[in-house]
Amino acid sequence: MNLAELLLLAAIWGASFLFMRVAVPELGPVALIALRVGIAAILLAPVLRSAAARRQCRARAWPLFVVGVTNSAIPFSLFAYSTLVLHAGLDSILNATTPLWAALIMAVGYKVTLGRQQVMGLLLGFVGVLVLVWGTLDTGGAGVSGAMLAALLATLFYGFAVNYSKRHLAGVQPLVIAFGSQAFAALVLLPGAWVLWPRHAVTPLAWACTAALGIVCTGFAYVLYFRLIARAGAAYAASVTLLIPIFGVLWGALFLGEPITPSMLAGGVIVLLGITLSSARPGWMGALALKRRSANPAPSPAPARSSADEEAS
């Protein structure tokens, strides 16, 4: 049962990159993500029926705002921008570097000593990123370098949010974090969405992908993610990070006809091996339970991604 839910969650967050790839050319990154997080906040709002949840929202309003900005508003928008140029499969692989950034920030920013195996994993993971970047820049067109930089910057924000959440939102109900972060992200993005709202008619397909992003890839996925945490533990749930690229690449190839290049395969395998090594110590990996991936996310919240995770996603 747990394995089935883990695979379902990975498939959902992997699909977030597919939905963004379809919808963002019509709606634009900011408007699309404002809708995504707004829909998710509405779906998660029933958590406020609990008096304890309302107290936690009031008491931790500032940390929830920070997580909403750094784990959803900014990285979701960056990934949406990157999908204007990059394939959904490649974006999903880049999203998987989140645990590497989380470990690096923990070591540099919070002075936590990493073991030799974790350091080797970090180095291996970033070698994988270089393989991805090199192969993509060599075959890509205009704007590829900026899109890849945006995607990697998004995962850097995810990595910060993982560590920040662990220290400032400990003891807060995970669904409170999920709701609060999405609600604040929506508030932050609303002015930009108003200014940048598309002046042309949006196709039904784009609206359907937007709804899928908010309802399935964010709202439903968060509930599924936290239920998995309760049943199998945070470290097990966080392992969805390793599965999201598989589905991201698969959905992109099946539905968008995206090519699967040798550099994507090689870089993806190296990145995932690096994550496996660097996450051998479960303490920081378990912090992904506070994250959003599929974005995207994924795994997304801070709680995932995503995130989501939480992310894309």
Which residues make Cβ contacts (< 8 Å) with residue 303, sequence separation at least 6? 165, 174, 177, 178, 181, 222, 225, 226, 289, 290, 291, 292, 310
Q: What is the mean pLDDT of residues 226-254?
A: 84
Question: 253: pLDDT confidence band, cut at 50, 70 and 90?
Answer: very high
**CA of residue 177 relative to chain centroid, distance:** 15
Token readout for 145 is 């370098």
CA neighbours closer than 13 Å in the CB half-sphere of residue 110: 17
Q: Looking at the predicted structure, is the pLDDT value of residue 283 above 50?
A: no
Cis check: omega of the bond before 181, within 30 degrees of 0: no
Banded model confidence at residue 52, pLDDT cuts 50, 70, 90: very high
pLDDT in the model for residue 304? 40
pLDDT at 134 over 60: yes
List alpha helices for the chain, DSSP H: 2-27, 29-44, 51-59, 61-68, 74-82, 88-95, 98-109, 116-139, 144-168, 174-196, 204-214, 221-232, 234-238, 244-256, 262-278, 282-286
Quick: pLDDT tens for 22-41.
999 999 999 999 999 999 99
User: Could you tell me the pLDDT band of residue 176, with boundaries at 50, 70 and 90?
Assistant: very high
pLDDT digits (tens, 9 = 90+) for 288-297: 444 444 444 4
pLDDT at 299 over 90: no
Whole-model pTM: value is 0.85
> Tens digits of per-residue pLDDT, 137-166?
666 566 888 999 999 999 999 989 988 988
The answer to whether 304 and 298 have CB atoms below 8 angstroms apart is: yes
User: What local confidence, expressed as pLDDT, does residue 282 receive?
Assistant: 44
Sequence-distant (≥ 6) Cβ neighbours of residue 276 within 8 angstroms: 121, 242
Place of tokens 């749930």: 237
- Model confidence band, residue 185 (pLDDT cutoffs 50, 70, 90): very high
- Residue 196 pLDDT greater than 70, yes or no: yes
Q: What is the pLDDT of residues 68-123, one digit of tens each?
A: 999 999 999 999 999 999 999 999 999 988 888 888 898 888 888 888 888 888 88
pLDDT (0 to 100) of residue 294: 40
